[in-house]
Structure 1
């Protein structure tokens, strides 16, 4: 009787679970009766099976409409989530939310036994659209009203977590893709809950190539416009790759997707696409996005290593179709640069696409030039062949250039460079490795970087000019002009390479190094640039004719020298070798320019490179008071104070300001003169005699208070047995100055006072004391003490 009552309630549209006894029994009789009732209800068909609902429209809620319509389930029961209007008994219309006509009763044959029923726990189990959609693929599914889960469990209804139910959905192609989109649409509102999104992570998804996979993560969805075109125009199964639509610019045909799917590209079937899949981890990409996809990249890399030209053709057609469509979107958008279509990383492998050269040979795109372009005029066709005319007619110049065919000189980027030849990645297929492999002489350039920056130095980025090894020998003048005038190429030539954490050390750019080391156009030795000073012009040859029209900056990058201080070690070796063999006389003015340049380099405490270095074998040096000759570095020394210039008996001497003498000796890898002789005044073991001390004139002390108050007069003066005109022991006011005549005394007092630059003024005061005041006024304009010594 009780079971028939429950069935009657269900048929009339009520909820039979309301009749399930709950709570604690009042006694033994009540308990026994409950058990009998529950057992009978569990085996009686009284729960309405869920059936599909119409697709939910965006923003649609499960509630009463403004007219008071009550949405009902297939059983005719009021949706428990919707309040009943007060006047329902007075004629409010009843509409089945699952799409049935207006009903008042439920067909008893549609009822199922609770112990054979399945329900989803949580709010999604009460959503009529979601449950109805799931019911297509999960038998025995029912929808529970709020608060009835305990009653359903009492009757044996199997309450399932959404994740478990999704995991058991059939992962085979059952039904058209559109039905899956309807399922996704039904489930989307509930996906605002993170736990629901996690539960839906293993949803089956149909792919464009006919496969079914579990889980949207890692799948690709087309933008809505492209997906609509694909759904309208193509059939996604068993289509040959030659159906790529190269005539109209379409790219969503199976010809593209089918070819790329062989390399792992998994595209959601356009008819099944839905925003829910994006929420669950699918990636929405257009043609430009697909060009950056790992599966497309792998397809291009694999075809480059495959001897099967048919495979290469299929991949090339598919990828060039993507390129063309992406370029078309760029043009229509108006504000997208080519880099939005082909970024730096993509360009590295896109150039490996196999195209056909004019002679019929299959050739990588970056090994071809566009007929009639600047590149065809500048590059040797024996090295980079022209692309065949039919290929240009089919794809167009823009598409081919975007894919790597050369239309002009181009700059490429190699990132994360380690200046160590032992760490070269010769077999890598990353973007940086591919770019490096395309550059002539790259291993040798890395060696040059290790010398300039230090072995193992890390360089974040090297910008290089590609294809320099393919320049036509008759086109160098124009190539150099373009390197000097085209902004991107000019930067690639002029900007030095800098390493991280190397104290500002720099190396020449790849283009600068290559043109000087490998071009064979006369740039393998330094030359005097257009702005060179006189000493440089005398020491170096004039600029080669090919670089004379170029500006001074470009000339410097190509080996031009403006000042001696800008020479690097290798250039210094050439310059000094050009002075002639040992014993050759050197003009004093020219030698002075060299010595000053070396002293300037030695004084630069921030210098990280430059200077002659320890591999220099010949240097110009004084061999007597007024004669300079070329000597072997082993026979030279640096005069660490002016007085040592008198001691050419010790070594051939290189003059230097006292403050930088030690640094210059280190720069030239030669000793200081004081390291080769004791510098002791003869017959002066006990110090100067009182009778030999002479007061320093007051005019001198007034102008140079750092000078000693006395000096020692000699008729003849010998140091270490060698005759000299003057000598200084110590420095400052405590120095002992020895001299045989006034000119020597002036030099000794100037050196002792640390004002060597004033030696001639000291001599004037010594010979004409009355001029001391005039000199004091004039010296007010001279550099402060310590700046001109």
Structure 2
């Protein structure tokens, strides 16, 4: 049945007649059409109803040159999909009824085989357009086949091959409307939900569409061009940045101004295909696709799609650019692999990496990344490390990404190498060290910086912190040590092996002593001045006791400009100068040095004010340039742990010792040396210092009465400070022994008996100890008796046994501790009593025992002495008859006869008990 052209504007009747005739002439053709339509519905265009209709809508809008709008709504069982744009035309109708061809000459979805997707949900389809409408019906097509005796074995029909005209126009405001009567069993609301989920993707994929409305939900794409040149797309709360290359559109989601890489997606050609991609962006491109638009045609080129991708990356904020570099990994498809490889190549050969210095972008093959780089370090390394990329891209998490585009990664060792030879201010190096500190996290990274340059205080820059030392001494230049410049000093250098020194360490450095020695042997005014300036600056920072004595060799100018060792100079107005001999070797230091560095610093290195004290740890012999040191050393039993001695005592004028001793007493350091009687200083002063016409060692302290009447008292007001330098209760040398012997024999002296006994005891003990020998003294003819008389030595007697003392007359008796009696007799060449006197009791007594005598027991109790076991004879009166040097009868308190028996009066028992105890 035919209708007029007005009722059938697209000539559908002729199309139906021609097709039915073809089927009748070739039943195989009918079966092919049925199979083709079924294949397209089941495979190629499954789940693509909205996509295919949206592509047609986009094509219509594009041809009309307007922003396209697509609306979808449901009325009963029917879905309505309407759009604006170019209406349906005869060519379009022909394309709709031709399963194997499309009338498309441009755009992305002009009616063609994709329309078959509607059969997935409907068997009754109507296309309404303002130029005319048509409809497709499975039921009506089956009736036509039945009329002509045509059929296929399973009863299927090619629904979209036969079209009928319709008089229903599209809804108001739309140019074309497709109405689908949804097949029973399909939930239309579920379809609408699926369409809502697809709407955003379709608006991204089809630029000709601007709005999609599904029921009451409206999706609108808004666009604006950013300053970066990228295009910002917004659909509701969703945002993308888009770059349009020569062959493709690239889009990346953005949230809060930060790109969110995609990762897993599919190629959009222009709508979603089945070609899986693993790129960080959405790719929309017009590429050769198979008829169902799910797969690319085999061998179709895709490499050209990446052209301009580097421009897209470069347009992003610098800290986000690596997000658009594909993550290293396996490709998800052959197409994905080919695009990825092309994309990596595109990135490798173009400039897009932000430079650390903010200059032009860098190509990867000219770029370098330093892990951990921050802004401070980047600024410090500017002009030192070429091609550094922005610190925002240098974190460890970006390492794999940078490697995938062949960015050269450098380490700290390379940085250290590149820094070699650069001349910078010390403060610049400090900033560099501060910036490098966060990167030095372990021993491995520290080792990488082993060759890091370090500026020194003397202006040099050396390689490697391990050869340098740090200090907090201010700006000083030390030519004998690699001292880090204070403006460059940083804790990082310590972590890298630099040592730490104090002023005390530097002053004790053997290298300083060597430097002083070099200048000393090859004097140079400027070199000496520079070295002195450094040393005196350091000396001012340490206690004087910590200054090594070797610094006394430091050359300083005297008042005449001549270079002289410091320890041969005195400060202006030094009191020491007033006590020295006229030809002493000391000069006076230049007054300018005193004004510049202060008297304390100069005194610390040996410039004199008063006497100088020498200190030496663990001395081993007389090698300290002290006068008569070797003689003193012979008096030392064991080496002292520390030698502390006053220097230059031999330079004192002997007429000025009164003032010299006062000077020694007033200075704490020198006064301390006077307290050690066995020390060098006290020894030297006892033997060589003179007050009046007597050595100090021949004078006694005024309160010391041991040798009173024999030695003169020292009347110096400071005698208490140098008491150890005076005579004591013993005899230190043969000179004192001879003095005492002479004065004991001097009738003009009036020592009391106690002083005489003390002198004789000291002489005897000194002789016994070997301090005095017979060859070292000249014995006088007379000796002093207990009675105070000077008697001829041939008449004097020494009671070597205590009981003999009571039979010797006082004017012949030379008393001494009985233990020293023999030594005294030998020294004075006088007789020992027991050798020249014999005596026996003359009268009988009462034989008894010590334990039986009350008086003996009382004597033991009161004296604390034990009772002896010797025989005891008690006499009312005891008389001894003497022969030999003493003759006649002598009344005595107690006696011991030749047999060893003790004879005693009752009153003499205590004396006997004491005498026996001393003699035991």
Quickly name the TM-score band, shorter chain normalised: 0.5 to 0.7
Specify the alignment match of 2:436 in structure 1: 187
The question of 1:12 aligning with 2:196 is answered no
Q: Is the 8 A contact 2:654 2:690 kept in 1?
A: no
The question of 1:556 aligning with 2:723 is answered yes
3-state secondary structure, aligned to 1:507: coil
Q: Is the 8 A contact 1:44 1:112 kept in 2?
A: yes
Specify the alignment match of 2:515 in structure 1: 299
Q: Is the 8 A contact 2:377 2:432 kept in 1?
A: yes
Q: Is the 8 A contact 2:617 2:642 kept in 1?
A: yes
3-state secondary structure, aligned to 1:138: coil
Specify the alignment match of 1:51 in structure 2: 356
User: Which of residues 858, 862, 865 in structure 2 aligns to 1:703?
Assistant: 858
TM-fit CA distance, 1:405: 7.5
The question of 1:362 aligning with 2:549 is answered no
The question of 1:495 aligning with 2:669 is answered no
The question of 1:448 aligning with 2:601 is answered no
TM-fit CA distance, 1:487: 3.9
The question of 1:268 aligning with 2:268 is answered no
Query: Within 2, Cα distance between the matches of 1:625 and 1:370?
Result: 58
TM-fit CA distance, 1:457: 1.6
Deviations 1:389-436 (A, max 9, x none): 775698587488457575631332312143533xx3xxxxxxxxxxx4
3-state secondary structure, aligned to 1:413: strand
Query: Within 1, Cα distance between the matches of 2:535 and 2:621?
Result: 38
Q: Is the 8 A contact 1:313 1:354 kept in 2?
A: no
The question of 1:693 aligning with 2:855 is answered no
Larger % of helix: which?
A: 1
Against the structure 1 CA distance between its residues 383 and 135, is the aligned structure 2 distance closer, same or farther, given a 3 Å change threshold? same
Against the structure 1 CA distance between its residues 481 and 112, is the aligned structure 2 distance closer, same or farther, given a 3 Å change threshold? same
Against the structure 1 CA distance between its residues 704 and 174, is the aligned structure 2 distance closer, same or farther, given a 3 Å change threshold? closer
The question of 1:507 aligning with 2:686 is answered no
Q: Is the 8 A contact 2:449 2:496 kept in 1?
A: yes
3-state secondary structure, aligned to 2:422: coil
Specify the alignment match of 2:374 in structure 1: 127
For 1:765-776, list aligned pairs within 5 A.
none
Query: Within 2, Cα distance between the matches of 1:358 and 1:420?
Result: 36
3-state secondary structure, aligned to 2:738: helix
Specify the alignment match of 2:613 in structure 1: 412
3-state secondary structure, aligned to 2:465: coil
Against the structure 1 CA distance between its residues 125 and 209, is the aligned structure 2 distance closer, same or farther, given a 3 Å change threshold? same
Task: Structure 1: give runs of 5+ residues left out of the alignment.
Answer: 53-98, 101-105, 228-251, 327-337, 425-435, 497-505, 604-608, 684-688, 758-785
TM-fit CA distance, 1:202: 3.0
Specify the alignment match of 2:187 in structure 1: none
TM-fit CA distance, 1:788: 14
Query: Within 2, Cα distance between the matches of 1:472 and 1:18?
Result: 95
Query: Within 2, Cα distance between the matches of 1:129 and 1:35?
Result: 35
Against the structure 1 CA distance between its residues 695 and 391, is the aligned structure 2 distance closer, same or farther, given a 3 Å change threshold? closer
Specify the alignment match of 1:78 in structure 2: none
Against the structure 1 CA distance between its residues 112 and 638, is the aligned structure 2 distance closer, same or farther, given a 3 Å change threshold? farther
Q: Is the 8 A contact 1:166 1:199 kept in 2?
A: no
Query: Within 2, Cα distance between the matches of 1:626 and 1:399?
Result: 57
TM-fit CA distance, 1:461: 4.1
- Corresponding residue pairs, total: 585
Specify the alignment match of 1:568 in structure 2: 732
TM-fit CA distance, 1:718: 9.6
Q: Is the 8 A contact 1:207 1:266 kept in 2?
A: yes
User: Which of residues 802, 824, 833 in structure 2 aligns to 1:642?
Assistant: 802
TM-fit CA distance, 1:507: 0.8
Query: Within 1, Cα distance between the matches of 2:897 and 2:331?
Result: 120
Deviations 1:264-293 (A, max 9, x none): 5545385x5656546656678999997677
Specify the alignment match of 2:742 in structure 1: 578
The question of 1:148 aligning with 2:398 is answered yes
The question of 1:202 aligning with 2:455 is answered no
Larger radius of gyration: 2
Query: Within 2, Cα distance between the matches of 1:555 and 1:134?
Result: 69
For 1:363-512, list aligned pairs within 5 A.
363-380=564-581, 382-384=583-585, 386-387=587-588, 391=592, 395=596, 398=599, 401-402=602-603, 406=607, 408-418=609-619, 420-421=621-622, 424=623, 436-437=624-625, 440-441=626-627, 444-451=628-635, 453-454=636-637, 456-464=638-646, 466-472=647-653, 475-492=656-673, 494-496=674-676, 507-510=678-681
Query: Within 2, Cα distance between the matches of 1:20 and 1:636?
Result: 123
Query: Within 2, Cα distance between the matches of 1:165 and 1:612?
Result: 78
Q: Is the 8 A contact 2:798 2:832 kept in 1?
A: no
Larger % of strand: which?
A: 2
Against the structure 1 CA distance between its residues 174 and 193, is the aligned structure 2 distance closer, same or farther, given a 3 Å change threshold? same
3-state secondary structure, aligned to 1:418: coil
Against the structure 1 CA distance between its residues 526 and 177, is the aligned structure 2 distance closer, same or farther, given a 3 Å change threshold? closer
TM-fit CA distance, 1:172: 1.1
For 1:329-344, list aligned pairs within 5 A.
340=541, 343-344=544-545
Q: Is the 8 A contact 1:180 1:205 kept in 2?
A: yes
Against the structure 1 CA distance between its residues 118 and 719, is the aligned structure 2 distance closer, same or farther, given a 3 Å change threshold? farther
Specify the alignment match of 1:211 in structure 2: 460
Against the structure 1 CA distance between its residues 626 and 414, is the aligned structure 2 distance closer, same or farther, given a 3 Å change threshold? closer
Q: Is the 8 A contact 1:221 1:284 kept in 2?
A: yes
Q: Is the 8 A contact 1:370 1:407 kept in 2?
A: yes
3-state secondary structure, aligned to 1:48: coil
Query: Within 2, Cα distance between the matches of 1:397 and 1:47?
Result: 65
Task: Structure 2: give runs of 5+ residues left out of the alignment.
Answer: 1-302, 861-866
3-state secondary structure, aligned to 1:526: helix
Against the structure 1 CA distance between its residues 118 and 729, is the aligned structure 2 distance closer, same or farther, given a 3 Å change threshold? farther
Q: Is the 8 A contact 2:452 2:465 kept in 1?
A: yes
3-state secondary structure, aligned to 2:663: helix
Q: Is the 8 A contact 2:872 2:902 kept in 1?
A: no
- The alignment's TM-score, normalised by the length of structure 2, stands at 0.50
Deviations 1:209-232 (A, max 9, x none): 5533112345467869x66xxxxx
TM-fit CA distance, 1:171: 1.8
3-state secondary structure, aligned to 1:409: coil
Query: Within 1, Cα distance between the matches of 2:379 and 2:590?
Result: 59
Specify the alignment match of 1:315 in structure 2: 528
For 1:182-261, list aligned pairs within 5 A.
182-190=431-439, 196-197=445-446, 199-207=448-456, 210-217=459-466, 219=468, 257=477, 260-261=478-479
